[in-house]
Amino acid sequence: MIPADQPAAATARIEFRHVSKTFAGKDQAVPALRDVSFRVRPGELVTVIGPSGSGKSTLFNLCVGLIEPDGVRPARRTGMVGYMPQHDLLLPWRSVLDNVIIPLEIQGVGKEEARRRGLAMLTEFGLDKFRDEYPAALSGGMRQRAALLRTWLTGRATLLLDESFGALDAMTRRELRQWLLDVWEKFERTVVFITHDVEEAVYLADRVIVFSARPGTVRRELIVDLPRPRRKEVIAEPAFRSLLAELLADLEPGPA
């Protein structure tokens, strides 16, 4: 990965150049990513889609420095991105408000100031009525909102969302993806979003990065030239259905 503060990536929030990752297996090495190259520009919402096991989560782990790519270890700017994993990981003994302010506390912000900042954002995330509730009292959708607000409060300009809506029912998922678009358009963060839902990938994105089966490599970057702000009615339009058909064809089994 080339960090965004390097001259070669001055116009990108994230840039991968010929990145590969191999894990040590019990009997032999297991290649997860092979020669991955793409960039994410400031303010974009990019979705990443591909078969299970194609290295999409490995990609995010490389971004945040949890693992290193094959070859020479790259320079990396610490704290470059905010990362929301697949599961919300809310602490059951802390209220919604006290859960979402954890990044601020880690950064050394005083409890009173952290709570003030958290309260200011609870309404934007539809959580103002749940500030004093504990995670067990929340629906799946509300838990995901809280987890996303916690990620948001890292203050990072780039957010990595790994299958954030994957465990939700279809109706809640549709509601949250529209809400995510509204928040993204208002606050102008850069977002990279992993999903297994092909329709969701097209609906959310400026571009869709299509991964092959393992070892994952970029098969295609699909530009989604649909108007914004984007609303659910666009799903029925011929342009959307055409892009969806292209993406489904790209995901058909075959050589990378």
Whether residue 244 has pLDDT greater than 90 = yes
pTM of the model: 0.89
Q: How confident is the model at residue 250 (pLDDT cuts 50, 70, 90)?
A: confident
- The tokens describing 237, both together, are 């339009």
Supply the range of the domain harboring residue 161: 2-80+156-250
Q: How confident is the model at residue 5 (pLDDT cuts 50, 70, 90)?
A: very low
Q: Are residues 13 and 70 in the same domain?
A: yes
Q: Are residues 107 and 172 in the same domain?
A: no
Q: How confident is the model at residue 75 (pLDDT cuts 50, 70, 90)?
A: very low
Give the residue from 105, 131, 155 where a domain finishes: 155
Could you tell me if residue 86 is inside a domain? Answer: no
Give the residue from 122, 155, 188 where a domain finishes: 155
Q: How many domains does the chain have?
A: 2
Residue 131: per-residue pLDDT: 94
Q: Are residues 64 and 19 in the same domain?
A: yes
- What's the average model confidence in pLDDT over 130-137? 95
Could you tell me if residue 256 is inside a domain? Answer: no
Give the residue from 155, 173, 206 where a domain finishes: 155
pLDDT tens-place string over residues 53-72: 888 999 999 988 888 899 86
For position 183, which CATH number holds?
3.40.50.300
Q: How many CB atoms are closer than 10 A to CB 205?
A: 26
Residue 2: per-residue pLDDT: 45
Q: Are residues 76 and 9 in the same domain?
A: yes
Residue 74: per-residue pLDDT: 55
Whether residue 231 has pLDDT greater than 80 = yes
Q: Are residues 243 and 143 in the same domain?
A: no
